[in-house]
Amino acid sequence: MNPRAPLLAACIALAPLHALAVQLMSAPVAIANPQENTSLVSRLNALDNRPGLSADYSFRISSQHPGVVGQKITRAQHTYKGLRVFGSETVVVTNTSGDIVSVAAADRRPGLTPSAVTPSGIATPSPPPPDQLTPNLSSDDAIARAVQAVAATGATHRWTPSAELLIYPVMKTVRTSSAANKPDDQLNAMDVEEVVDRYALAYLVQLRMALGSKLIYYDVVVDARNGDIINKWPTLQTVIGSGNSQYNGVVPISTSATSGGFQMLDSARGTGGKYGGMAITNANHSSPNNPDPGSIYTNSSNTWGDGLQYNGGSTTNANGQTAAVNALWGLMNTYDTNKNVLGWQSLDGNNTATYIAAHVGTSYDNAFYDDSCHCMYIGDGNSFYSLGAIDVIGHEMSHGVTASTADLIYAGESGGLNESNSDIGGEMVEAYARNGGTGSSVPASGNDWMMGKEISKSGEPLRWMYKPSKDGSSPDAWSANLKNMDVHYSSGPNNRMFYFLSQGSKADSGSDYYSPYLTKTPAAMSGIGNDKAYRIWFKALTTKFTSSTNYADARNKVLQAAQELYGATSKEAIAVQRAYAAINVGADIDEAGDGGGGGGEAVEQVVNGGFESGTTGWSGSTGVIGSHSGQAPYEGTRYAWMGGNGRRSTETLTQRVQIPATASSAQLSFALHIDTAETSNTVYDTLTVSLRAASGSLLTTLATYTNLTPAAGYQIRSFDLLPYKGQQVTLSFVMREDRSKQTSFVLDKVNLLTR
């Protein structure tokens, strides 16, 4: 190893970790062309070379949206023999040169190892044999069966029904071996797992229908061989249930000049879409079973509304305009919250404009988001006041964000998380709007943690986030029955988790803010505030969640997001673990303890991950380990300085680690600082992080970092290694420099914490 030749940037004081949290999402991304998609699929196939994989297994690009500046997030569905495997997918983060930065996945593909055996020792069933991959039913037959199954005979189709032929994993819940003898009422979410019981060739039928005054939106899974209904779930995403705003007084609204006056078209927020910008339209009592959004609101002056509940008369006079004022102010603040705080533009991150139609139906007690048009409809209310309150708008628009990213299946635990994300979004938009609707952070207060309180004539909100059970139906904590509940109720525990993460809890057992599951010290956990809690949650949703994410998976991925943003042992990572423990998902830990792993029973599998004991535990180019004046450590005094030579060179560090077969979580994390003298927009120098089997064969490449991704200070990288439980694997860091201009990859604080 030659003496290092670092840039001046290498000597800059380390950026505080909290600065990493204010990284913004990048501008709208260019959607990859077919050739780029083919290239990415090829790279994914090359990375995913586990035993059992063959040419029958591949990937299908489903969506793309921005990551943080310089990154793109791509969602790739898993396929088997050309058919999508439902709920099985990979989330890939790539940098500007197309290198894979991180990967998260939900793998339900048949016949794979090492993920073929669960912690309970249950083998994944085989896929349907080739002679059972030909359907006996046509797509039209499947649609007819689905219509019959949801009792929609005589209904009309609002949107053309679709029927996708796919492989459907029929799931079942099993206990982990460590929880085999636990009483049912003592089970924790980490004590059970969802495993594949069998695979079926099936049609996923999507129905968007109307019958009378009732909307019938359902996804139905129909067995393609015999026509049986395997599963079905409703998909209509509802709340249940200077202008003069009804709820917020006089508010500024962004309109556009038009011939003879003004219109509610906000051209400063969003582009394209149906109206070319964010718009509020007048549905003018159009039937909710087949609503016509109508035309954009217009007015001769730029003063709108009278601030009063709609009286049932004209929808275009001052009183009728008030519902539109509510809607536009809510839409503006939803857009601004996510863009100004996170950098996320509109619902899809790509700044595509949406619209809200006011005055749907007559005395209609509902508001709903319709993903077929990426828009929202608002009723005037009967038992409720007009449903255009700020948290309701934020809630419904957040459904659009979910649909564009994780696309959480609207049933079971994933459906509860889908609804919870919308409640979280509604509360954060409310906090932002109530404090002026400006700034780059979510204010610490301003929201009431009660969903829909303003629209309630009784004063009772639809949901209490801090104690969901106050509504009489929502649970406060996870239980095995959660997956069987309506998604508006199964959202309750995660809502409470987010409240605790932001605001903390109380130790008084008689308090609405108390959790009996917080058994460590202190009994009252500390919150980290709205801003940090929302950043962590949003990062997990957009870069890690898959459509089938459940509560246990969400806990692990939210923890990874916190570790990446704030550090493996940060107070924020500790708060995530305690907040989930408070709802019976994972074990509680002491607040002053280490926050890097899977709970109070975390075990470190890496020897000398901070390099303070020199070369102990490490093999390869161990001369890179030490302490030098040109670089600062993440913590302690030593680190591994890979690269920085300014000449053609290769350096490696490896360590063999064991991931216990009984592990319920396995989190790899490390601190990495990159600086470079390269100036071209070309990859010259790389650091590849991978796992290898005991035989030496490549299991997977976790990430590749390059000279194109330098940063002042360390960044925390984390990966879920649970798919490799029961194996002894070699953790490998390989640095390659070209013939000139140094790039330094400085590594510290390598942890593999298992529970």
What residues act catalytically?
Answer: 396, 488
As given in the structure block, the two tokens for residue 292 are 């016509």
Taking the C-alpha atoms of residue 224 and residue 139, their distance in angstroms, rounded to an integer, is: 9
55 vs 405: CA distance, rounded Å: 28
Cis bond upstream, residue 723 (ω within 30): no
What is the number of residues in the chain? 755
In terms of Cα–Cα distance, which of 390, 389, 502, 351 is closest to 441? 502
Residue 360, both tokens: 């749907």
- Partners of residue 206 on adjacent β-strands: 162, 219
**Rg of the chain's alpha carbons, rounded to an integer?**
26
Structure tokens at 247: 């709820």
Which string of b and e fits 16-42 if b means at least 16 CB within 10 Å? ebeebbebebbebbeebeeeebeebbe
Q: What is the DSSP code (8-state) at residue 276? A: B
Using DSSP's 3-state secondary structure scheme, residue 135 falls into: coil
Number of neighbours of residue 138 by Cβ within 10 angstroms: 12
Q: Is 472 exposed, middle or buried (0-12, 13-18, 19+ CB in 10 A)?
A: exposed
C-alpha to C-alpha distance for 703 and 691, rounded to whole angstroms? 10
Task: Please answer whether residues 281 and 293 qualify as being in contact, where contact means their C-beta atoms are separated by less than 8 angstroms.
Answer: yes
∠ Cα 619 620 621 (to 5°): 125
Asked if residue 561 lies in contact with residue 16, where contact means CB atoms within 8 angstroms, the answer is no
The sign of the dihedral angle between the CA atoms of 26, 31, 36, 39 is positive
Beta strands in 455-501 (DSSP E): 463-464
Cα separation of 645 and 511, whole Å?
60
Helices 390-404 and 412-434 pack at an angle, to 10 degrees, of 130
CB 74, CB 67: distance < 8 Å: no
Check: CB of residue 223 under 8 Å from CB of residue 202: yes
